């Protein structure tokens, strides 16, 4: 953990430090997780809970290269930001900022921090595993404590719109539409711009079918955002 040693405490909205670590694009991060999981299973070292050393850095949609996602892994190379413990009533928060032309994850206080108080963050982690959720016992001791530092959401709850409206047939049809000779329409380009899908996510000079396939999936995302809250309410 990290403790405030300033006798005057720390005022709200004060920059503390940047969250540092090794950067991984999504595909490389998934490859790394697969290798680690295989090694853990081989040597019977698989833990009940995953590590919580990583944090996501989202490139803003307004970026010249568009939206993108990077994993910041602080398990080997890091600073004291990754040592902050979880609290359901945290006194720090993280946000993506631009500094000297580069993106960074800034850790700032969200309320006054007293002398001797521990600096904490809400991990905002979600699991679909009942075993993980029960094992993730939170000991923050705050009145707002949820009892677990993981939010539990079943796949059935979160994927009901996906399963009902975006099955294998829809996906194959989407690939066929993307592979057709139909050019990319102006409204298709508008969808890509609206979601910031440019070179950071699609790569430099992506083929037309990739853009059309991305547009089809983004339109479904827009539909799901509207339909999922109603579906969740009906399932409760």
Q: 85 pairs with which residues across the strands?
A: 120
> For 223-231, what is the mean pLDDT?
90
- Burial (CB < 10 A; 0-12, 13-18, 19+), residue 55, is buried
150-152 and 125-127: which strand pairing?
parallel
Q: Which residues contact 158 (CB under 8 A, 6 or more apart)?
A: 128, 228
The pLDDT, as a whole number, for residue 155 is: 63
Q: How many CB atoms lie within 10 A of CB 172?
A: 10
Q: Which tens digits make up the pLDDT trace of 161-216?
A: 888 888 889 999 999 999 999 999 999 999 999 999 999 999 999 999 999 999 99
Q: 151 pairs with which residues across the strands?
A: 126
Spatial CA neighbour of 20 closest among 58, 86, 76: 76
Q: Which tens digits make up the pLDDT trace of 99-153?
A: 888 999 999 999 999 999 999 999 988 888 888 888 999 999 998 898 999 988 7
Cα 3 to Cα 76: distance, rounded to the nearest angstrom: 22
The pLDDT, as a whole number, for residue 236 is: 58
The dihedrals phi and psi of 68, each to the nearest 5 degrees, come to -160, 170
Task: Identify the structural domains of the chain with CATH numbers, from first to last.
Answer: 2-153 (2.170.270.10), 157-235 (no CATH)
In our burial notation (b when 16+ CB lie closer than 10 A, e otherwise), range 24-54 reads beeeebeeeeeeeeeeeeeeeeeeebbebeb
Q: Which tens digits make up the pLDDT trace of 153-171?
A: 776 777 888 888 888 899 9
């Amino acid at each position: 953990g990290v403790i405030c040693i300033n006798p005057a405490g720390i005022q709200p909205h004060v920059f503390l430090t940047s969250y540092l670590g090794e950067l991984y694009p999504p595909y490389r991060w998934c490859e790394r997780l697969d290798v680690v999981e295989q090694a853990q299973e081989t040597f019977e070292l698989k833990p009940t809970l995953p590590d919580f050393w990583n944090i996501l850095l989202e490139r803003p949609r307004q970026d010249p290269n568009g939206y993108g996602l990077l994993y910041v892994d602080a398990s080997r190379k890091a600073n004291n930001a990754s040592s902050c413990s979880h609290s359901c009533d945290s006194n720090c928060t993280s946000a993506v900022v631009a500094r000297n032309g580069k993106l960074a994850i800034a850790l700032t206080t969200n309320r006054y921090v007293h002398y001797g108080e521990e600096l904490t963050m809400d991990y905002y982690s979600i699991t679909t595993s009942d075993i993980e959720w029960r094992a993730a016992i939170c000991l923050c001791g705050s009145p707002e404590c949820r009892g677990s530092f993981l939010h539990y959401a079943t796949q059935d709850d979160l994927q009901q719109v996906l399963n009902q409206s975006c099955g294998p047939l829809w996906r194959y049809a989407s690939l066929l539409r993307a592979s057709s000779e139909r050019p990319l329409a102006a409204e298709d380009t508008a969808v890509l711009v609206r979601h910031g899908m440019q070179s950071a996510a699609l790569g430099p000079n992506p083929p037309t079918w990739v853009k059309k396939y991305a547009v089809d999936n983004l339109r479904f995302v827009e539909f799901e955002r509207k339909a999922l809250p109603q579906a969740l309410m009906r399932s409760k």
